[in-house]
Structure 1
Amino acid sequence: MNHDGFELGLDDINNAGVYSVTNADIGPLSAAMRDAGLRVATIDLGGCRDKRTLIARVAAQLDFPQTFGGNWDALLDCLRDLGWMQANGYALFFSDADELRENAEKDFDTFLDVLEDASKTWLEQDVPFWAFVALEDAGNKHPEG
């Protein structure tokens, strides 16, 4: 990856979406996102092997409201709202996602779909929403399950 926005075209909101990166990419890319004026959050998925743990970590790191339902629909609803984290745009980094992908492939794929849906909803509001999932075999595109 290069250093000018990781070839993602950070200046074009239409490029926002879900991408795979490596753990080593998170630091420089999150700095670029902060420089672009986005709200950055990193969620550590190390040791995460199932849906329950995944959703709990995301909810805790993003400080979801106490009324959060703890399921896929509730996760999507919160990611589409983020009203408690007012920002001009969002960049979420999910480090160490390999264990989740290896142990709960269906849940991993559903999680990616949730992130894609959230990104599309934000795009309709002209707000960039980027999600970066760190995988050992990352290729800077949608992280296929």
Structure 2
Amino acid sequence: MSESGFEPGLDDASQAGVFFVANEDLDTLTVVGRDAGLAVRRIDLSGCDTKAALLLRIATVLDFPQTSGRNWDALSDSLRDLSWLPAKGYVLLFEQAHEFRAQHESDFDTLLDVLDEASRQWTQQEVPFWAFVALPEEDFPDME
């Protein structure tokens, strides 16, 4: 049982992946991820109005090495490495993603693909890698 009293199994790498949640779920996921001993990072996408801003925000929050590039391939490589951020697993919480999705749907879809690829790679190593993307609940049906 976790300290929070809620046990969703975030330490189970086989269940990890990319999921859509409501913004109000992020506080609970933060606590549950930390209770599971995972590295939890919240990435606020409010005001993120370009792909470059998105990539910089992620790189900053995850403290990517200075040598890391600022493109999709570099993001993919960095998320599949994370050797500078050793942990038994990872939880990335993307806050306020709806504005970026509305303005840059293609880049948003690419971000989801990169996150999914990273999660699958970590799962092969039996390391949980979760990405929770906060959107308004009315947007959930569009995401299936």
Give the TM-score, by structure 1 length. Answer: 0.89
2:66 equivalent in structure 1: 66
2:12 equivalent in structure 1: 12
1:48 equivalent in structure 2: 48
Q: How many angstroms apart in 2 are the aligned matches of 1:103 and 1:79?
A: 24
1:11 deviates by: 4.8
2:46 counterpart letter in structure 1: G
2:109 equivalent in structure 1: 109
- Which shows bigger deviation, 82-91 or 9-18? 9-18
2:96 equivalent in structure 1: 96
Give secondary structure in 2 for the equivalent of 1:117.
Answer: helix
| Identity among equivalent pairs (%) | 53
1:40 deviates by: 0.4
State the Cα deviation string for residues 51-102 of structure 1 (Å, max 9, x = none): 1111010011111000111000000000000001000000000100000100
Q: How many angstroms apart in 2 are the aligned matches of 1:109 and 1:45?
A: 15
1:123 equivalent in structure 2: 123
C-alpha contact (below 8 Å) 1:22/1:138 kept by paired residues: no
1:116 deviates by: 0.1
List structure 1 runs of 4+ shifted beyond 6 angstroms. 138-141
How many residues matched?
Answer: 140
CA distance change for structure 1 residues 101 and 18 in 2, over 3 Å: closer, same or farther?
same
C-alpha contact (below 8 Å) 2:17/2:131 kept by paired residues: yes
Give secondary structure in 1 for the equivalent of 2:91.
Answer: strand
Give secondary structure in 1 for the equivalent of 2:68.
Answer: coil
Q: How many angstroms apart in 1 are the aligned matches of 2:22 and 2:124?
A: 28
CA distance change for structure 1 residues 106 and 140 in 2, over 3 Å: closer, same or farther?
closer
Query: Structure 1 regions of 5+ residues with no counterpart?
Result: none
Q: How many angstroms apart in 2 are the aligned matches of 1:23 and 1:62?
A: 20
C-alpha contact (below 8 Å) 1:91/1:130 kept by paired residues: yes
Q: How many angstroms apart in 1 are the aligned matches of 2:72 and 2:143?
A: 19
C-alpha contact (below 8 Å) 2:11/2:38 kept by paired residues: no
